[in-house]
Structure 1
Amino acid sequence: MQKERDCYDRLLWSIDAVAACPLHRLKLVNLPKLKRRPMVFGPADEVTSTIKLTESAELLPASDYEVASARLIAELLDDSVVFPDAGYSASAQSAFLTHAVDTLFNGKSARFAAHLRVNKSQVHGWVKGKIQMCLPRLALVAYCCGCAIADILLGNKVMLSLRPAPQCQDRRLIASGGEGAKRPRDELRKELYELMRDGRIRNATEAAKCLAVSSKFLRENFPREQALLVQSGRELVKSGRKEAMDVFDQIYLSEHKALCDAGVYPARRRVIERMRGKVKSLGRRKNAERAQRKAHAETGVIIARGREPERLFLPRRPSCGQTEEKV
């Protein structure tokens, strides 16, 4: 684009699991789409802003894993030409993973899960063929085992080399415990009471984190305290939801009245459009329907079914010499 050449999109870049260009080792960024015209790049300000985004993308180098993962997926696209009839097979996936577990981890799938930094049950489902691996997980396993993604899909028992998982891989799924379990129970109970009395914890998850223990350890050793914390967390979630619903209804009512004052029928779609940017989330449709019913009940505006009335929501005034009739 900077050299005023025709722009194009690579198939590799359109895959969600690809976050970098393996050739230039740069992170991919989303750019506004320009109108496709021969030798015309759109308005000058649009081209200028797009070029600025392109220049800023040059300052975002990709990590080694992002580059390696993109290269693995690019090789998979090339392999799809060689094996056009090959598709997903649970038996092939199980055969490769069983080979990887036996070769690299002495048949211990739990060690394989810890090395990949994923849940043990997820790896167990992969090995048994009950869970289909997604493309990011395929790239992760191929990266850590030193093979190609096609080897996993085809069930090839190739030579493998162990590679540590990238730092960007989340460890929360396996970081379930801590050093707190080694402390005396009386000391843990005393600290737990202090946390609950001071109000520094709101639910059982926060309590386990503060004590450096797992949720299972807290439930088995302090069942009564854990039950109270679970109930407290549920009540806190309910109160937060109710507060959010009240705020949503108030903003809906204010926008509803603003449309009425402007002489416009307050259809739900119009009110919701005016609420964009004023609430954190527009929520589901039933939330908008609830707020609509409350707003119409408070203002007395009739909910139109089908075609919107022009002046249905405005009060009718009696003409000269006529009395107002009750309806």
Structure 2
Amino acid sequence: MLTACAISQPTIVPLSTESFLFVFDLSTSSLLEYNSNFQIAREIPVNFPCPLTATHAAPSGQYLALELDCVNGPLVQVMDIHTGEVTTPFTDVDSHFLAWDLGNGLYLRVDALGNARLMRVVPNGPAGQFPFTEPIYDMDFAPDDRTLVYSFTRGLGLGSTLLAADSAGGRARLLHADADSIITFARWSPDGKQIAFIKMPDTETPFPLGELWVMDADGSRARPLAPADAGHGYAAAWSPDSTRIAFVGRDNPGDAAADRSAGALVSNIYIVEAATAQQLVLSEVEVSRVTRFEGALVESPVWSADGRFLAFSVVALNDTINVWLADLASGAVTLLESRGPACCPGWIRK
């Protein structure tokens, strides 16, 4: 049930002119762009070969990486927001999104029959192999584009490692290692001073309860902040001013079915105040609840450039999916207007 949040139109508050909101409308198979009044300003028809699962905006604001769940394996496509053109960097192998750099470089893990490679692709430009030999499953570039962090594991039950390197993949150094956990979704704070990440038990359980962690950029003072959902692919998100971290919290941690079935998750959005995250005692960390959906699956939040709004998808008990907005100034949580069921919101910087 979604009775905890009344369905209404968003309060009209001008957005930062630095960004605009987009969502994917499932009923019309189109990308919807919204103006500052949360009204549909543009509609870009898209013909995807497979269901869309996630979108990732390039820092430049020109491109979107589109993750698709295809029968033969995952596929990444790239959309030019200006023209609506969609291209497929690799058509005959599995491809997984990893990161964008500031130069519109798209980093993909490409896998053909177990032969995994890390590739850097420039939309409508060259593609080349990135010089990493480790089995990397996650990476992120620092705000200055000079440093990247990446995670890898040697296999189930062997733990994982988080390292930093220069932007060309050289001078690697250890930031954090855990013999019993998988470290994933490491994300730089916008000011480049801290790194947030999710830890989950390194077991055969596909969707365990995990933890949100944070550490200084040099790997020091690593500490847990709050329980968090793990295994579904929901990264934590820093606010643009680096003062808050929004994340997906699991509301049914005692439900064993939710450990095994992706659709059994009951979740909501929570925020950690970065100032209290400096505390080394978990009980002193300030965590606030943003949404109060009942019996719903609430997915990863994304921030507007001004830090006023969070947008996120919500899957109801009847499997209907829609995009909602949380106004962090007023506390209002409202359904976003669309043509029909919608998902995969994001903010594009202009």
Q: Answer yes or no: same fold by TM over 0.5.
A: no
Give the structure with the higher percent helix.
Answer: 1
Q: Which has the higher contact order (CA 8 A, sep 6+)?
A: 2
TM-score class, shorter-chain normalisation, is under 0.3
Give me the TM-score of the superposition, normalised by structure 2: 0.20
